[in-house]
Amino acid sequence: VTFMRTDDGQLTSCGSGHIKFWKMAHTFTGLKLQGSIGKFGKVEISDIAGYAELPDTKVLSGCESGSLLLWENNLIKVEINRSEDRRAHEGAIEIVHLEEDNSCFITAGHDGYIRWWDFEKIDTADTFDDAPIFFMEPIAELKVGDNVIIR
């Protein structure tokens, strides 16, 4: 669970088969947390281990299949892969980190690679057809080793 850097009234949590978006709500009995479960839509439901919150309240997460998922509210805006036959990572993504200067995302996982992704391209990623898949290449990558799982 993390609080959003730009809005301490918003939290994100994740785990086995879910990601959940929480907001603080004023009720007649005081402040309460209200949660919205992430809706995977056409994307296969996945365990979510790593995510990063964007300044505009979107969230970028990894998933078991190796794709990156850009969430807006509680819906997937786009699935991000390198090409039609190459996912962002070959295996589950465990780490998704946004650099403090918002210049790039850093991801890592079960394929033994650390990859850097352009923040602006992900932040503005969009698709115009029924399959919400956006293709882009990382700006850099580092192979830590074969048979290495990065957590």
- Give just the sign of the alpha carbon dihedral 43, 46, 52, 56: positive
Q: Give φ, ψ of 120 to 5 degrees.
A: -60, -40
Question: By the 8 A CB rule, do 127 and 134 touch?
Answer: yes
Looking at residue 118, what is its pLDDT? 98
The stretch 128-137 carries a mean pLDDT of 85
Pick the range with the lowest mean pLDDT from 5-9, 43-47, 141-145: 5-9
**pLDDT-based confidence at 39, cuts 50/70/90?**
very high
pLDDT mean across residues, the chain = 93
pLDDT at 48 over 80: yes
The stretch 106-133 carries a mean pLDDT of 92
Q: Give φ, ψ of 25 to 5 degrees.
A: -125, 140
Looking at residue 3, what is its pLDDT? 79
Looking at residue 107, what is its pLDDT? 98
Question: By the 8 A CB rule, do 98 and 105 touch?
Answer: yes
